[in-house]
A and B are shown apart, each in its own frame.
Chain A
């Protein structure tokens, strides 16, 4: 067997996982994660309560999931997407996470920054610089967005 033949065979073989990978990507609606549609977050049905609560909330008409849970543009957005997406995929596949689901401190900071981003005119006097997080909006306003709870 010559090396070209080997290369050809290996390439053909690689086609199998590549095909399966492509199918899996489409089946799992991987493309949807490039959009901002809230129903994307509903791909995992564990988010049903949050989605339904958001539908009834005051933020329904002004903010979708990514408006609060992802940094607004820039490299930070893609880093957060990768970090959150990977974590969620592993957790949902292995089903090894603590419930009730609790937001991580770094993701909570993202949400808090987005609170201030929209409501800056109103709260700038008390919000403090983003880096120092003197006031955590969510400590009192846990119900904004999709309801309080653990």
Chain B
């Protein structure tokens, strides 16, 4: 049949072209869908590919990051400045410079730390990425003699301990603890490579072969063993005996703890042989006859508390419910079909959706409000306890000035030690009340009580002169 040579022919061609285009478009869409489904399946099937071998010697997190890029990427973010109402870089901060001085914000800190390095320089926190750098730069280290013990927490130190201990990490840890900070920090191995190069890194918490979460800090291993012994469990080894959920807290408990440097060897020791509560740790120190320094204003032997997050969290309702540090501070993210722990360790207030809403199915604003409510109340109580403590210091100083002999100020001295220990224990803890609100309020209540008692004692002694 001859073709119609008219506009009908052009229309027919137009239809053909449209049909062709439509079918082609449909094919493209179907292939896109197929590829998308394929990608989703692939995401679930291959969690990671080991392109590099990592071993116990791999201190540098970068090779680990080649195998586990999601975790590494979020880990690098700890260099970013973060701020919450009560912590961090400070509201409105735009650069990643050193945080503000806590001493400027709360001048009472200078008074309670009089005569100690913390009165010199005590900045707010930065992320894990700065743990080593900030330690080297603080005036507490640059202007005061510090031991190598400090590197126990602020550096990825397994290589250093292994070298110093000739293969034995514990012996190396003990040796390094007693060295001068600068010597330990710059120690080199046989080939001239510096042994300490990185802050907290992958190898500190992860077994290189299996990625299992594990603890490496000798101070923690000894401390938890002593704690468990007290609870009737002999020969406790966290890497062998702890459950996976317990390990998700223990890795953080390696460093976020109260500690002291024991003896002339300055061995990093966790004071947990009596238990984790503030009075149990105090009893341990009292039995050891240990004090951190002599207070410059009152001449009393006092204790310094350092960041006891692990101890305080243990007293709270979340610990009782089995919630680990990582559950809130490294919550799971969904990356494609994978469930990946967020290695950008930071305040859960900056990630309420993932950190809290997994269990607390209420709006973010409500959760945020609840947390801030706790923190605001805690902060007010903390300031009240600080005022009570400085009033006590004033009274003791005044009594000394009035010529009251030391023998008549012994009760006041003991109360100074008790009050200041409790105040510092709470002030040094970084949750501003959240980890165990009622326990922290109890401790502050005791601090206020002891401080006012101490103030009374000193005032009465001065009046008798």
Binding site for B on A (CB under 8 A): 1-3, 6, 9-10, 13-14, 16-17, 20-21, 23-24, 27-28, 44-46, 48-49, 92-93, 99-100, 142, 148-150
Query: Beyond A16-B27, A45-B337, A49-B339: 19 further Cβ-contacts under 8 Å?
Result: A1-B12, A6-B12, A10-B16, A10-B19, A17-B23, A17-B30, A20-B31, A20-B34, A27-B34, A27-B37, A28-B37, A46-B334, A46-B337, A92-B40, A99-B334, A100-B361, A142-B361, A149-B357, A150-B357
Chain B interface residue count, Cβ-Cβ cutoff 8 angstroms: 28
Contact A3 B23 (CB under 8 A): no
Interface of B, helix, strand, loop or mixed by DSSP: helix
> B202 CB to closest chain A CB, in angstroms?
25
B212 at the interface (CB under 8 A from A): no
Interface of A, helix, strand, loop or mixed by DSSP: helix
B49 at the interface (CB under 8 A from A): no
A residues less than 8 Å from B40 (CB atoms): 44-45, 92
A residues less than 8 Å from B43 (CB atoms): 45
Contact A24 B353 (CB under 8 A): no
A/B interface sample: 5 pairs, CB < 8 A: A17-B23, A27-B34, A100-B357, A149-B358, A150-B358
Contact B12 A24 (CB under 8 A): no
B residues less than 8 Å from A150 (CB atoms): 357-361
Query: A16, A24, A44, A49: which contacts B23 (Cβ < 8 A)?
Result: A16
Contact A14 B23 (CB under 8 A): yes
Contact A13 B337 (CB under 8 A): no
Contact B30 A13 (CB under 8 A): no
Contact B19 A148 (CB under 8 A): no
A residues less than 8 Å from B334 (CB atoms): 46, 99
Contact A100 B353 (CB under 8 A): yes
> B354 CB to closest chain A CB, in angstroms?
8
- Bound-state CA distance A93–B357 (Å) is 24
B133 at the interface (CB under 8 A from A): no
B321 at the interface (CB under 8 A from A): no
CB under 8 Å from chain A, chain B span 21-62: 23, 26-27, 30-31, 33-34, 36-38, 40, 43-44
A residues less than 8 Å from B19 (CB atoms): 10, 13
A residues less than 8 Å from B37 (CB atoms): 24, 27-28, 93
- Bound-state CA distance A58–B36 (Å) is 36
B residues less than 8 Å from A44 (CB atoms): 40, 337
> B246 CB to closest chain A CB, in angstroms?
20
> A79 CB to closest chain B CB, in angstroms?
23
- Bound-state CA distance A142–B362 (Å) is 13
B residues less than 8 Å from A99 (CB atoms): 334, 353
Query: B12, B26, B38, B357: which contacts A3 (Cβ < 8 A)?
Result: B12
B1 at the interface (CB under 8 A from A): yes
- Bound-state CA distance A45–B360 (Å) is 23
Contact B359 A20 (CB under 8 A): no
- Bound-state CA distance A1–B12 (Å) is 10
